[in-house]
Structure 1
Amino acid sequence: MLLKATPLRLVLGCSVLLTVIIGCGSLYLWEPLPLQILRNATFDQFQRLKPRVYHDAPVRIVDIDEESLKRLGQWPWPRTRIAELLTTLQAAEPAAIAIDIIFAEQDRTSPQAMLNFWRLSDEKKQLLGTLPDHDAELAEAIRHSTTSLGFALSAAQSPQAPPVVKAHYVQIGASPLPYLLPFQGALSPLPVLESAAVGNGALTFISDADGVIRKVPLLLRYQNTLVPSLTAESLRLAQKADNYTLRSQADGLGLAEIGIGDIRVPTTPGGEIWINYSPPDSRRYLPAWQVLAGRIDENRLRNKILLIGTSAQGLMDLRFSPLGGVIPGIEVHAQALEQILAGVHLIRPGWANALEMLVILAGGLLIGGLALGYGAILSFCSFFLALLLLWSAAWLAYADFRLLIDPLVPSLMLLAVFLFTSIFRHIYSERSQRWVKQAFSRYISPNLVEYLISHPDELELGGQRQTCSFVFTDLVDFTSLMESLDPSQAVSLLNAYLENMIAIAFSHHGTLDRIVGDAVAIMFSAPVKQADHQRRAILCALEMQRYAGRYAAELNARGIAFGQTRIGVHSGDVIVGNFGGKTIFDYRALGDVVNTASRLEGANKYLGTLICASAATLSGCPEIPKRRIGHLLVKGKSIPLEVYEALDTDTLNPSALAAYQTAHDLMCAARPDAISAFQNLVASYPGDKLAAFHLHRLLAGESGDLIELSQK
């Protein structure tokens, strides 16, 4: 656990955790555009999984669709046709009519407008001037109906007069004006039309960064004036209300709800409502051409809120929907009115941000603490469980209560906490593993450590048969040296010697089998199999001998009688594996080959050699210079072993080697002149102890190359 870790790791881990949590919290509060897009995409997905079910609400769209344009002529229609449409609709006694069209300019088809384009005589101009004005006819139709017109708002100031507000406001609490969507300019209908209407509302939608319409404003801010939207005005006329009741939040930070007649609509602080979309449904649409042709039963219009707009693609009033695809802008108004009348409100509660921040902080501390203090499986399971609970709670809040709680952004924050703390733990664990590996490598071979780390399944009792090579070393007369030196000095000299001998073995990827006092046993081709283990063993023995000779010479020059190193090398099949019990493992090799290698090391004492290697080992590296010792029969063995002395190329004397080979051949052939050959060899090379050994044997009456040792 983290609490049991070193103080430094504890401090660093907590620092990383707190830094990541603070960074995630700050990012959440900053709310950059990518996070907004992700959050909105999550809410969209919720709506796609469970959209609002369409019910036959008293809202209809009188649609100027493609068929209407085909039958009645392309847009713009004469205002007289719009007036005819209004008159037909009003005759059915609807609850209200709202027009999603801005009549900002005079009708170009009006007779009065034609006076500016046609070249006519004064008599004809006078006659044309007496014809009804299209805008006047539309104004008359508006005046005799319960109709709301629309105007457009813009961020830039405009020279036009401000839109006429038809309603009054009853304000409860602080003014919401600073929190509403601000606009500076407006494009209003013609004054003659605007004055005739009983309602006037903004047609302006504010899409999110991805172009999707998710909210509709009920109230907006034009300069320093409150103006309603067309949706709000449609509802006000249907409710036969004169006022809007504005209730601000308890803390005064924006709106809480808007009262329209008997209906209370919860809003965002900015006076908007989230639209709970339902899938497209043909029942909410009435083609305009069918209304004008009298094909629509008046019962389908009576007491309904009728929204006049267009779905024709050429008129470009299309909006992106959270459900995917595009819908006419007039349908956005219709969907908003449907959910208000049904009392189905999609709400992003004011406490949602605080809750999500709490999830980030508390969940981050919990998940980060587990990631720092426990294993990967437990911490990941906890992280996964936290995400599962978070998403389940968010989905239930939406599905059962129509509350919008964002699970995605907190999940990303918790993921960041989990990843950073897990990476920190991984880095620290790697450091600990490296330290343990380095420390462990001081006790056993690095290649064995690497192998066991890569193959932990091998950490079990048992062994397997394998062909390996072994190098055994021993110091001459070290016991007497220990008795002649101060113990601390003797230990220091021995440690330096052993450290470098083992380092040489490790450089050849040998495995340290054991250290017994001043003796070292090295194994090749285990645990990792090495095709060239014989060559590695011989080269390792030669390099050890070179180092041991230099080290002994340096100490001898200082008056310290440090002896020479004898080395035995042998190869063969052994049983390699873990031996011991449940308490402790000992990775080593067992078999006659190991004992034989040790015997070859001991044989150097009698042979006068420093490296005694078997033919089994040297057969794997024929390029290594050597000279044949003979067939050696060690004590306790019945079959002699062919052995050689491995030679160092740096000190190789070709003429001496040739003379030895000639004398040895004579000895193997039992020739009487072998004695004289060895006598000449010893006389020429008095330091050749192996030649002296053979001469001694021959003078004692022995012949051939069979050497029988009666001692170990």
Structure 2
Amino acid sequence: MTRWNLSWWSVTRSLKRLGVLLPVVSVLLGLALLIIDPLPMQTLRNSMFDQYQRWSPREYVDAPVHIVDIDEETLARLGQWPWPRTRLAGLVERLKAAGVAAIGFDILLAEPDRTSPQRMAQLWSLPDALRAALQKFPDHDQVLAGSLADAPAVLGFVLQGGRAQAASARTALQVQAFRYIHAGEPSGRSLHTFDGVLTARPELEAVAAGYGALNFVADSDGIVRRVPLVLSLHGEPVPTLVAELLRVAQGERNYFLKSDGHAIGLAEVRIGNFRVPTTAAGEVWVHYAREQAGRYLPAWQVLQGAVPDTMLEGSIVLIGSSAQGLMDLRFSPLGKIMPGVEAHAQALEQILSGQTLQRPNWAGSVELIAIVIGGLAIAWLSVSSRAVIAAGTTALALLLLLAGGWYAFRTHGLLINTVTPALILIATFVLGSLMHHFISEREHRWIKGVFSRYVSPNRVEFLVTHPDAMTLGGQRQECSFVFTDLADFTALMESIDPQEAVALLNNYLDAMIAIAFRYEGTLDRIVGDAVAIMFSAPVPQADHRARALACALEMDAFAAGYAARVAGQGMAFGKTRIGIHSGEVIVGNFGGSTIFDYRALGDAVNTASRLESVNKQLGTTICLSAETLSGCPQARVRPVGRLVLKGKRAPLQVHEPITQRCVARYAPTEDYLEAYRAMSEEAGGAAGMFSALAQAWPDDPLATLHARRLADGERGDLMVMGAK
């Protein structure tokens, strides 16, 4: 490499380092977006989470949760809303008789019943006697209170931003039979906080078994993705309808609020037997299931006893409305409008069936790591690699990133934000590609001047990717080698026109080398009619043993076919012998400053060459070492023996691949293996077994070889080879 080339390359490397800084800016921008989390990024993230739910809604499990629905047909049958509280009392009595576990009112009973006789007496102009008679009838709110008194019923209140009735709300909540127990730091500051409340009627509050907030905290697009379990009123935690229903259904008194020691806010709410993972604000991410026939029960059917007790017994029942006129409609992530009561019901189904959906506290750290590592890697890759490689790697990274987010949701119920990292990776790639385009053309022109020193396509590709590898020296690497040699080609050269012989040889070598390149082998050398192919260098290949064997088998098939075609022209082209071996060698550039020679040096190279030549003594075509065979579990082979090759001391276990071409000429594999086993164990019957095989299969070279050896008095499968 000339001094000018080295200087130019140093400048190019400096430009690359500076070029990486531009895409790094997009990584820093991504970190800022992740920390600030502006509304557009929230919208994109939530849209992806919604898409996950559309692709894979929660699998419905028959959880004991039902909605007693005040639907359009119920209103048509029983009259418009609001109903007399006596009708609600009748509904409560019917549900109590059926043995429900808890009754939740997704209805705010804040106003007195205007249909009560006392209020009607005040409203109408009536004779005194009739007015006095009406005053004797029970008040409807008192009737409902009487039904609630011994019912597992949970009433609702609504938290507001103002301060109206706040004192009344605190008093009502203080008389409830529950308390909060904190595990870790109190988390009131992280909860959604309100200063005011709109409560139910005092006489109803006083007898209710539970009292929970009906509030949702929808996202900016109005979609209800989370249902709170705990809210805050003047800095003190208060339960929601879902939490109170779980508590009352189990007859529990306490809530356990667990804070995360590594993050601000809640991590889990424990209600009786249920440990519910929450957001820091005490919310449950709802994984919505599709519509289910048994979820909604029309209120008129329940009142008339048309719903069997067996369906209601032990269930948590919510009383709500799907009627459009009552305006309790919400948007769900599934892209549909739903009654608000369904969000409560779906959250309860999810908790009771143990199907959690959560965005863990460590999700932000994972997303930050993805941006930093992925962004910096793509920044470097987009500047220093070819556009196709950088684009393909970026596409693969995006695919893995997005697929990982989907896998986390689909398999583990985790919500990981892959939108922000994906956008940052794309921006990083675009900026890096612009810098790469500025540098790459001059760099490639420089590299082309060096290509004449290398011949293997995979070596050329490696140099384009790693130009700094064009230095003298080598490194230790495990490789596989395929050596081939053409028998009797010298005699062919003497019997035909040399130009014709050279043409035959060139066609042969061209095809053999093309096969090697197809398996991504590197041409180590060509010596006359012999070819040496190397695998796992310069680019490591985990399956280099399997590649070497597959390459050798295809070479063998081609060589046999080519020899047959040449023989058809009246010329004896000769048989190709092949040796295959694997081992550790020194691989690198050897030579001087004028010219390089990229090759491998080491015992494994010599052994592969010896295995090729030993075919001549064995009568075989391909010899495969056990070292290479260890990486080819599907290979069809039979053992040749333990060979002590020329110049070696230790025996080498050698095998012969069984090709399709040889099946008809070779002894059955099972019979050969049985005879070989007897020979290796030095059993007395081995000689007779191989003798029989040699007579039955005279074209089987190994059967003939071992029959002759054993007949000459040799024992076992150890053979000392006397020639190279």
Smaller-chain TM-score bracket? 0.5 to 0.7
- Taking a change above 3 Å as real, the CA distance of residues 5 and 118 of structure 1, as seen in their structure-2 partners, is farther
Q: Does the Cα contact within 8 Å between 2:190 and 2:265 map onto a contact in 1?
A: yes
Counterpart CA distance in 2 for 1:288 and 1:18 is 61
Aligned-pair CA distance for 1:159: 3.7
Could you tell me how far apart the structure 2 residues matched to 1:188 and 1:4 are?
76
Query: Out of 175, 190, 193, which is 2:201 matched to?
Result: 190
Are the counterparts in 1 of residues 69 and 297 from structure 2 also a CA contact under 8 Å?
yes
Q: Partners in 2 of 1:416 and 1:232 — Cα distance?
A: 44
Of residues 386, 402, 408 in structure 2, which corresponds to 1:375?
386
Q: Which amino acid aligns with 2:40?
A: P
| Residue correspondences, number | 435
Name the aligned partner's letter for residue 37 of structure 2. E
Distance in 2 between residues matched to 1:112 and 1:213, nearest whole Å: 41
Which residue number in structure 2 is paired with residue 92 of structure 1? 98
Q: Which residue of 2 aligns with 1:706?
A: none
- Of 198, 203, 222, the residue aligned with 2:233 is 222
Q: 1:65 to 1:5 in 2, by over 3 A?
A: farther
Give, in whole Å, the separation in 2 of the partners of 1:121 and 1:399: 70
Q: Which residue of 1 aligns with 2:65?
A: 59
Q: Deviations over 1:111-161 (max 9, x none)?
A: 122233212233332222111111111111111211000011122222452
Q: CA deviation at 1:350?
A: 0.8
Instruction: Give, as a single letter, the amino acid of the residue that structure 2 aligns with 1:329.
Output: G
Q: How far apart in 2 are the matches of 1:427 and 1:155?
A: 58
> Please, which of 46, 49, 65 is the counterpart of residue 43 of structure 1?
49
Pairs within 5 Å for 1:116-135 = 116-135=122-141
Cα deviation for residue 393 of structure 1 reads 1.5
What displacement does 1:11 show?
5.0
The one-character-per-residue Cα deviations of 1:74-99 (angstroms, maximum 9, x if unpaired) are 11111110111111111111111111
Letter in 2 for 1:89: L
Equivalent residue in structure 2 for 1:162, among 169, 173, 190? 169
SS of equivalent to 1:98: strand
Aligned CA distance change for structure 1 residues 179 and 429 (closer, same or farther; 3 Å): same
Aligned to 1:553: none
Tell me the CA shift for residue 390 of structure 1.
0.9
Aligned AA (2:169)? P
Matches within 5 A, 1:265-280: 265-280=276-291
**Distance (Å, rounded) in 2 between the aligned partners of 1:149 and 1:427:** 69
CA distance in 1, matches of 2:439, 2:384: 12
The separation in 2 between residues aligned to 1:113 and 1:273, in whole angstroms, is 42
Query: Please, which runs of 5 or more residues in structure 2 have no aligned partner?
Result: 1-5, 447-724
Distance between the aligned counterparts of 1:159 and 1:197, measured in 2?
19
What does residue 343 of structure 2 align with? 332
Partner of 1:264: 275
8 A contact 1:247–1:258 mirrored in 2: yes
Does the 8 A contact of 2:16 with 2:383 survive in 1?
no
3-state DSSP class of the match of 2:61?
A: coil
Match of 1:425 in 2: 436
Match of 2:33 in 1: 27
Structure-2 separation of matches of 1:380 and 1:356: 22
Q: Does residue 104 of structure 1 match 2:115?
A: no
Any residues of structure 2 matched to 1:221-240 within 5 Å, and which?
Answer: 221-240=232-251
Shift of 1:207: 0.8
The letter of the residue matching 2:264 is L
Does residue 77 of the first structure (1) align with residue 70 of the second (2)?
no
4+ runs of 1 displaced by more than 4 Å?
Answer: 1-5, 427-430
SS at match of 2:54: helix
- 2:396 is aligned, of 379, 385, 409, to 385
Is 1:255 paired with 2:266? yes
In 1, are the aligned partners of 2:57 and 2:287 still within 8 Å (CA)?
Answer: yes
CA RMSD of aligned residues (A): 2.2
Aligned equivalents of 2:39 and 2:250: distance in 1? 39
Q: Please tell me whether residue 319 in structure 1 is matched to residue 330 in structure 2.
A: yes
Matches within 5 A, 1:377-416: 377-416=388-427
- Aligned ranges for residues 581-660 of structure 1 at < 5 Å? none
2:20 maps to which residue?
14
Which residue of structure 1 lines up, in the alignment, with residue 360 of structure 2?
A: 349
In structure 2, the CA distance between the partners of 1:252 and 1:43, relative to structure 1 (3 Å rule), is closer
Partner of 2:678: none
In structure 2, the CA distance between the partners of 1:129 and 1:48, relative to structure 1 (3 Å rule), is same
The C-alpha deviation readout for 1:318-366, integer Å capped at 9, x for no partner, is: 1111111111111111110111011110011111111011101100011
Give the whole-Å Cα distance in 2 for the aligned partners of 1:3 and 1:73. Answer: 88
1:166-198 deviations in Å (ceiling 9; x for gaps): 221111111011111111111110111111101
- Give the Cα separation in 2 of the matches to 1:35 and 1:267: 22
Q: Which runs of 5+ in 1 are unaligned?
A: 437-712
CA–CA distance in structure 1, aligned partners of residues 164 and 79 of structure 2: 33
Contact 1:50/1:399 (<8 A) preserved: yes
Question: Secondary structure at 2:325's aligned position in 1?
Answer: helix
Query: What code does the residue aligned with 1:386 have?
Result: A
Residue 469 of structure 1 aligns with which residue? Answer: none
1:259 is paired with a residue whose SS is strand
Q: 1:360 aligns with which of 365, 371, 374?
A: 371
State the Cα deviation string for residues 388-407 of structure 1 (Å, max 9, x = none).
Answer: 11122212111111111122
Contact 1:174-1:252 within 8 A present in 2 as well:
no
Deviation at 1:278, TM superposition (A): 0.4
How far apart are 1:54 and its partner, in Å? 1.1
Contact 2:263 2:361 in 1 (8 A): no
SS in 2 for 1:279: coil
Query: Residue type matched to 2:325 in 1?
Result: G
CA distance in 2, matches of 1:421, 1:112: 80
Any idea what SS the aligned residue of 1:150 has?
A: strand
CA-CA distance at 1:426 after TM superposition: 3.4
8 A contact 2:50–2:333 mirrored in 1: yes
Change beyond 3 A, Cα 1:85–1:426: same
Q: Give the 3-state SS of the residue equivalent to 1:56 in structure 2.
A: coil
1:140 to 128, 146, 151: 146
| In 1, Cα distance between equivalents of 2:383 and 2:51 | 34
User: Aligned to 1:200, which of 211, 222, 239?
Assistant: 211
Q: How far did 1:105 drift?
A: 0.6
TM-score by length of 2: 0.58
**1:483-531 deviation digits (Å, cap 9, x = unpaired):** xxxxxxxxxxxxxxxxxxxxxxxxxxxxxxxxxxxxxxxxxxxxxxxxx
